[in-house]
């Protein structure tokens, strides 16, 4: 890991910097959800988990299964929290599907993730603000 990724993640700005570093420049060929795991010392663990080719609309079964798995892993001390990012091809303007995914991820996995959900597109990496989720 680079020094930038070894810095403790203690704020939303820290997390945004991590996501920007991990996603890099360029775009994405498919819609994916990415998870990173943060330990009790606020440090990024070396595991990055993508789920590729997710549908345009959230899948409640996938979210329920992830919630079960992540809860067990967190309770076993494997990580302290997780952070989530949706990536997709195309420009940076949020779509209704993007907002519904972010809202579903927050609702289903918020108990293991105190962090805001992020969106990565060809243009940028950005956070889903609370107002973005209300619009879903």
Q: Is the pTM of this model over 0.85?
A: yes
Give the CATH number, domain containing residue 55.
3.40.140.10
pLDDT tens by residue, 42-70: 999 988 999 999 999 999 999 999 999 99
Domain boundaries, position 106: 3-134
Q: What is the pLDDT of residue 133?
A: 79
Per-residue b/e over 81-96, b at no fewer than 16 CB within 10 Å?
bbbbbbbbeeeeebee
Confidence of residue 130 (pLDDT cuts 50, 70, 90): confident
């Amino acid at each position: 890991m680079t020094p930038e990724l070894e810095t403790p993640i203690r704020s939303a700005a820290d997390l945004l910097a991590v996501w920007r570093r991990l996603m890099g420049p360029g775009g994405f060929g498919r819609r994916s959800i990415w998870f990173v795991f943060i330990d009790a010392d606020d440090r990024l663990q070396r595991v990055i988990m993508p789920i590729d080719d997710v549908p345009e609309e959230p899948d409640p079964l996938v979210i329920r299964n992830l919630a079960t798995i992540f809860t067990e892993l967190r309770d076993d001390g494997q990580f302290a929290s997780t952070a989530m990012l949706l990536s997709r091809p195309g420009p940076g303007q949020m779509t209704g599907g993007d907002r519904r995914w972010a809202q579903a991820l927050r609702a289903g996995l918020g108990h293991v993730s105190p962090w805001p959900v992020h969106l990565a597109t060809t243009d940028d990496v950005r956070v889903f603000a609370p107002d973005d989720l209300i619009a879903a």
